[in-house]
Amino acid sequence: MDVHVGGVMAAESGRAKRTTYRHGDLRNALVEAGLELAREGGPEAVVLRAATRQAGVVPNAAYRHFADRGALLHAVSQAAMARLARTMEAEQAEQAALPPAPDAAAAARARFRAVGTGYLRFAQEEPGLFRTAFHVPGDMTYAADATAAGGSGKTPFELLGAALDGLVENGLLPEDRRPGAEFLAWSAVHGLAALLVDGPLRGLLPSQAHDAGQHVIDMIERGI
Amino acid sequence: MDVHVGGVMAAESGRAKRTTYRHGDLRNALVEAGLELAREGGPEAVVLRAATRQAGVVPNAAYRHFADRGALLHAVSQAAMARLARTMEAEQAEQAALPPAPDAAAAARARFRAVGTGYLRFAQEEPGLFRTAFHVPGDMTYAADATAAGGSGKTPFELLGAALDGLVENGLLPEDRRPGAEFLAWSAVHGLAALLVDGPLRGLLPSQAHDAGQHVIDMIERGI
DNA sequence: CCCACTTGTGGACATCGTACACATGGGCAG
DNA sequence: CTGCCCATGTGTACGATGTCCACAAGTGGG
């Protein structure tokens, strides 16, 4: 998993000094720095020179690993998407552990709701990363990219699909309603997330936001 | 309505030369130029120097009318929001003119659906302006701002609220479901718009996008 | 008629992305 | 073990952007 890393010494400011000429893991270091920048400030805060500075390297060194700033931003975006996937998975695990032993249908329903709840939680807790994850430059089918997957190897989109399949298997969703259902559910949840992150619902208290999320998921269950 | 405008002469490139020392309507000219930039390229394409260039003025002149680039972008964003409102109003007018003479309930329902359809049409036809309209810097309650209103004096958010009131008046929506309903509807439609504009649904054919929109609005009517 | 206030100009600076030539040294061929 | 190659990091430079400051030019009110 881990790569050979050149000796690194902390320095005065954010800059990292290193003893070896080679960095050893620059690409990862740049993505990591980019994530930190994106966390506070969103995609536009992912500045190439700032990332290289934090990695203790000259700006141009980035070009050995990324074609341009856009490529770096894209890598950061994928990493942010992976974090979203992990948050969703964590929410599912948490929900599954809570109630003693519900029937299979209730479990499938809980898994479905956890997908949306986790999505919304990530949007609130990490608005910068959320916006970065969905900052799509040019044309893209990122949802299928493995670099956007979480611990289970599934991307956010795939997690949603699996949860919907679970609803069908347990008779909670008619089979003829299944096709295209991910886009209905995703639209509603993503829309609320957008309104919470940088729309008129920004600044809602976490509890209020949670309630709003449950309402939206209620609507999805009724209307899907 | 129109202000005194200094004589303006077309020049070689996008630059506009003028005969008078004063421009006469720089603020509007800058917003107009900003809209053009935003149309192709979204919010990040609203570059202060480019806007002043198109207005035939030196970059610093913008600072007589806007505190900084952010203020200009905000004005452009409000203007884009107003255009969204106009598109929604146009969609409502068109729908109202189509069928011969439906009953009041059907009309209310059509008005409601037109809100969403117009919203989605604008997102597809003017993705750059759509993204700019929802590019909200800092904290903001733009939905209530009059500069974001369309021809009827209503902002997009207010148009939605009025349509929902219409549903209640005609018994199509239980009164106890009314509170907060705008956020449910808005979330779903806005989410689809986001997926269409720069998400995985980008590049959908207009007809496919229209169908997806109708499906989402169906879901809202069922689940609201 | 004249002066003050608004609006546009000119020049300067820090920062950013990026191109091109050059330095370095790690690892593989022999 | 030795020497060279090329991946990786450095230096220098350029154009573009946002923004600051001092200055110029009209314009309209007294």
Question: What is the DSSP code (8-state) at residue B55?
Answer: T
Look up the protein residue whose alpha carbon has the minimum distance to the C1' of C20.
Answer: A60
Q: Do A183 and B199 touch (CB under 8 A)?
A: no
- Check whether B69 has a pLDDT greater than 60: yes
Cβ distance A160 to A182 under 8 Å? yes
pLDDT band with cut points at 50, 70 and 90 for residue A6:
low
For residue A148, the model assigns a pLDDT of 86
Quick: pLDDT tens for A38-51: 999 999 999 999 99
Of A136, A191, A198, nearest to B187 by CB-CB distance is: A191
Mean pLDDT, residues B158-183: 97
From B202, B212, B219, residue closest to A223, measured CB to CB:
B219
Residue B8 has pLDDT above 80, yes or no: no
What's residue A141's pLDDT?
57
Nearest to B120 by CA among A187, A213, A200: A187
Per the model's pLDDT, the better-predicted residue between B95 and B121 turns out to be B121
Q: Given a cut of 70, is residue A67 above it in pLDDT?
A: yes
Asked if residues A196 and A122 have their Cβ atoms less than 8 Å apart, the reply is no
pLDDT at A87 over 80: yes
Q: Say which residue, A150 or B137, is predicted with more confidence.
A: A150
In one-letter notation, the amino acid at residue B101 is: A
What gap in Å lies between CA B74 and CA B66, rounded to an integer? 10
> Based on the number of CB atoms within 10 Å of its own CB, is B68 exposed (0-12), middle (13-18) or buried (19 or more)?
exposed
B75 to each of A13, A164, B133, how far by Cα in Å? 37, 42, 10
Protein-to-nucleotide distance from the CA of B17 to the C1' of D25, whole angstroms: 17
Strand C: which nucleotides have any atom within 7 A of a protein Cβ?
Answer: 6-12, 15-21, 24-27
Token look-up 């203007």 returns B79
What whole-number distance in Å separates Cα of residue A133 and Cα of residue A84?
Answer: 8
Residue nearest to nucleotide D27 (CA to C1'): B22
Residue A184: phi and psi, rounded to 5, are -65, -50
pLDDT at B55 over 60: yes
pLDDT reading at B10 higher than 70: no
Instruction: Please give the Cα distance from B8 to B75 (Å, whole number).
Output: 23
pLDDT band per the 50, 70, 90 thresholds, residue B42: very high
Phi, psi of B17 (to 5 degrees): -90, 150
Give the Cα separation of B2 and B25 in Å (integer).
9
Which of residues A56 and B3 earns the better pLDDT score? A56
Res. B12 pLDDT band, cuts 50 70 90: very low
Confidence of residue A1 (pLDDT cuts 50, 70, 90): very low
Does the pLDDT of residue A102 top 80, yes or no? Answer: no
What span, in angstroms and rounded, lies between the C-alpha atoms of B121 and A59?
42
How far CA B39 is from CA of A124, B44, B126, in Å, comes to 29, 11, 6
pLDDT at A198 over 60: yes
pLDDT at A19 over 50: yes
pLDDT, residue A158, reads: 95
Residue of A nearest to B208 (CA): A180
For A179, the 3-state DSSP assignment is: coil
pLDDT at A106 over 50: yes
What are the residue boundaries of the structural domains of chain A, listed by start?
81-223
* Sign of the C-alpha dihedral computed for residues B115, B137, A118 and A139 taken in this order: positive
Q: What is d(CA B89, CA A73) in angstroms, rounded to the nearest whole number?
A: 38
Give the bridge partners for A16, in sequence order. A10
Task: Tell me, letter by letter, the H, E, C secondary structure of B179-216.
Answer: CCHHHHHHHHHHHHHHHHHHCCCCCCCHHHHHHHHHHH
Residues of B contacting chain A (CB within 8 angstroms): 44, 134-136, 139-143, 157, 180, 183-184, 186-195, 198-203, 212, 215-216, 218-224
Classify domain B12-64 by CATH architecture. Orthogonal Bundle (1.10)
User: Across chain B, how many H-helices and E-strands are there?
Assistant: 8, 2
Q: How far is B208 from chain A, CA to nearest CA, in Å?
A: 12
Query: Which stretch of B71-75, B82-86, B98-102 has the lowest confidence by average pLDDT?
Result: B98-102
Rounded to the nearest angstrom, the gap between the alpha carbon of residue A175 and the centroid of all alpha carbons in its chain is 29
- Give the burial string for A36-65 (b: 16+ CB within 10 Å, else e): bbbbeebbebbbbebbbbbbbbeeeebeeb
Cβ–Cβ under 8 Å, residues B185 and A189: no
DSSP string, A52-109: HHHTTS-GGGGGGT-SSHHHHHHHHHHHHHHHHHHHHHHHHHHHHHSSS---HHHHHH
Average pLDDT for residues A215-221, to the nearest whole number?
A: 98
Inform me whether the pLDDT recorded for A204 exceeds 50: yes
Q: What per-residue confidence (pLDDT) applies to B11? A: 45
* CB-based contact A114:A91 (threshold 8 Å): yes
**What is the CB neighbour count within 10 angstroms for residue B165?**
15
Residue A199: predicted pLDDT? 84
pLDDT at position B1 is 42
Q: Is the per-residue pLDDT at A140 higher than 70? A: no
User: How much is the average pLDDT of B106-129?
Assistant: 97
In tens, the pLDDT along A170-194 reads: 999 999 999 999 999 999 999 999 9
Task: Give the mean model confidence (pLDDT) for residues A186-205.
Answer: 92
Given a cut of 60, is residue A62 above it in pLDDT? Answer: yes
User: Rounded to a whole number, what is the distance in Å from the CA of B155 to chain A's nearest CA?
Assistant: 13
Q: pLDDT tens-digit profile of B122-150?
A: 999 999 999 999 987 654 455 567 788 88
Q: Give B18's DSSP letter.
A: E
Candidates A84, A131, A187, A202, partner chain B, best to mutate (most B CBs within 10 A):
A187
Nearest to B184 among A140, A194, A216 (CB): A216
CA atoms lying within 13 Å on the CB side of residue B100: 0
Mean pLDDT for all residues in chain A: 90
Q: Which of B177, B187, B201 to mutate to test the interface with A (most CBs of A within 10 A)?
A: B187
Token reading at A65: 């690993």
